[in-house]
Amino acid sequence: MAITLNNGFEMPIMGLGVWRMENNEIKDLIINAIKIGYRHFDCAAYYKSEAEIGKALVEAIQSGLVKREELFITSKLWNSDHGHVLEACKNSLKKLQLEYLDLYLVHFPMATKHTGVGNTTSSELAEDGMLDIDTTISLETTWHAMEDLVYAGLVRSIGISNYDIFTTRDCLAYSKVKPAVNQIETHPYFQRESLVKFCQKHGICVTAHTPLGGADANPQLFGTISCLQDPLLQELAEKYGRSPAQIALRWGIQRNTAVIPKTSKLKRLEENLDVFYFKLTKEDMDLIKTIDKKYRTNLISTLAWGMDIYA
Ligand X SMILES: NC(=O)c1ccc[n+]([C@@H]2O[C@H](COP(=O)([O-])OP(=O)(O)OC[C@H]3O[C@@H](n4cnc5c(N)ncnc54)[C@H](OP(=O)(O)O)[C@@H]3O)[C@@H](O)[C@H]2O)c1
Cβ distance 101 to 92 under 8 Å? yes
Minimum separation from the CB atom of position 141 to ligand X (A): 21
- For strands 2-4 and 205-209, give the pairing: unpaired
How far is Cα 108 from Cα 139, in angstroms, rounded to an integer?
Answer: 10
**Residue from 5, 38, 39, 42 in contact with ligand X (CB under 6 A):** 42
> With respect to ligand X, which residue has the nearer C-beta, 63 or 216?
216
**Subset of residues 190 to 219 that bind ligand X, contact rule: CB under 6 A:** 209-217
Using the rule CB under 6 A, is 272 a contact of ligand X? yes
Cβ distance 82 to 142 under 8 Å? yes
> With respect to ligand X, which residue has the nearer C-beta, 11 or 212?
212
The full DSSP string for 167-230 is HHHHHHHH-SS--SEEEEE-BTTB--HHHHHHHHHTTPEEEEESTTTTTT--TTTB-S--GGG-
Using the rule CB under 6 A, is 26 a contact of ligand X? no
Using the rule CB under 6 A, is 271 a contact of ligand X? yes
What angle, rounded to 10 degrees, do the helices at 165-174 and 139-151 form?
A: 50
Q: Provide the mask over 109-128, with x wherever binding to ligand X is found by CB under 6 A and - wherever it is not.
A: --------------------
> With respect to ligand X, which residue has the nearer C-beta, 242 or 283?
242
47 in catalytic set:
yes
Strand blocks (E) in 63-209:
72-77, 101-106, 155-161, 181-185, 205-209
Using the rule CB under 6 A, is 227 a contact of ligand X? no
Minimum separation from the CB atom of position 220 to ligand X (A): 12
> With respect to ligand X, which residue has the nearer C-beta, 118 or 244?
244
Report the b/e string of 189-216 with b at 16+ CB within 10 A.
Answer: bbbbeebbebbeeeebbbbbbbbbbbbe
Please, what is the end-to-end C-alpha distance for the chain in angstroms? 36
How far is Cα 253 from Cα 275, in angstroms, rounded to an integer?
Answer: 9
Minimum separation from the CB atom of position 221 to ligand X (A): 8
Minimum separation from the CB atom of position 127 to ligand X (A): 26
46, 47, 163, 189: the catalytic one is 47
The CA-atom distances, in angstroms, between 124 and each of 23, 102, 132, 133, 297 are 21, 29, 9, 11, 21
Using the rule CB under 6 A, is 161 a contact of ligand X? yes
How far is Cα 65 from Cα 107, in angstroms, rounded to an integer?
Answer: 30
Using the rule CB under 6 A, is 263 a contact of ligand X? yes
**Residue from 12, 17, 188, 223 in contact with ligand X (CB under 6 A):** 17
**Residue from 94, 169, 239, 265 in contact with ligand X (CB under 6 A):** 265
> With respect to ligand X, which residue has the nearer C-beta, 76 or 156?
76
Q: Which residues bind ligand X (CB under 6 A)?
A: 17-20, 42, 107, 161-162, 183, 209-217, 228, 243, 245, 260-265, 268, 271-272, 298
Residues belonging to the active site: 47
